[in-house]
Amino acid sequence: NAGVTQTPKFRVLKTGQSMTLLCAQDMNHEYMYWYRQDPGMGLRLIHYSVGEGTTAKGEVPDGYNVSRLKKQNFLLGLESAAPSQTSVYFCASSYDRNTEAFFGQGTRLTVV
Amino acid sequence: QQQVKQSPQSLIVQKGGISIINCAYENTAFDYFPWYQQFPGKGPALLIAIRPDVSEKKEGRFTISFNKSAKQFSLHIMDSQPGDSATYFCAAFPSLGGWDDMRFGAGTRLTVKP
pLDDT 10s digits, A72-102: 999 999 999 999 999 999 999 999 887 888 9
Residues from B contacting A (CB-CB < 8 Å) are 2, 4, 6, 9, 41-46, 89, 95, 98-100, 102, 104-107
Nearest to B99 among A41, A98, A105 (CB): A98
Cβ neighbours of A101 in B, within 8 Å: 99
Nearest to B106 among A4, A42, A102 (CB): A42
- As a whole number of angstroms, the distance between CA A106 and CA A89 comes to 5
Cβ neighbours of A48 in B, within 8 Å: 99-100
Q: A2 CA to chain B: closest CA distance, Å?
A: 13
- Is the model's pLDDT at A31 over the cut of 80? yes
Which pLDDT does position A99 carry in this prediction? 81
Cβ-defined contact of A56 to B95 (cutoff 8 Å): no
Closest residue in B to A4 (Cα–Cα): B43
Cβ neighbours of A31 in B, within 8 Å: 99
- Is the model's pLDDT at A40 over the cut of 90? no
- Is the model's pLDDT at A47 over the cut of 60? yes
Cβ neighbours of A105 in B, within 8 Å: 41-43
Closest residue in B to A35 (Cα–Cα): B100
Cβ neighbours of B99 in A, within 8 Å: 31, 33, 48, 94, 97-99, 101
Per residue in B36-52, pLDDT (tens digit) is 999 999 999 999 999 88
Query: Could you say which residues of chain B have pLDDT below 50?
Result: none
E strands present in chain B = 4-7, 10-14, 19-25, 33-38, 45-50, 56-59, 62-67, 72-77, 86-92, 103-104, 108-113
Residue positions counted in chain A: 112
Which pLDDT does position B1 carry in this prediction? 60
CB atoms under 10 Å from CB of A100, counted, come to 12
- Is the model's pLDDT at A1 over the cut of 70? no
Which of the 8 DSSP states describes residue B32? B
Instruction: Report chain A's mean pLDDT, rounded to a whole number.
Output: 94
Which of the 8 DSSP states describes residue A4? E
Q: CA nearest A108: which of A86, A93, A92?
A: A86
Element (H, E) at A89: strand A87-94
Beta bridge partner(s), residue B92: B103
Contacts of B87 (CB under 8 A, 6+ apart): B37, B38, B107, B108, B109, B110
> Roughly how many angstroms between the first and final C-alpha of chain B, as a whole number?
37
Closest residue in B to A98 (Cα–Cα): B98
Nearest to A43 among B41, B95, B104 (CB): B104
Which pLDDT does position A81 carry in this prediction? 96
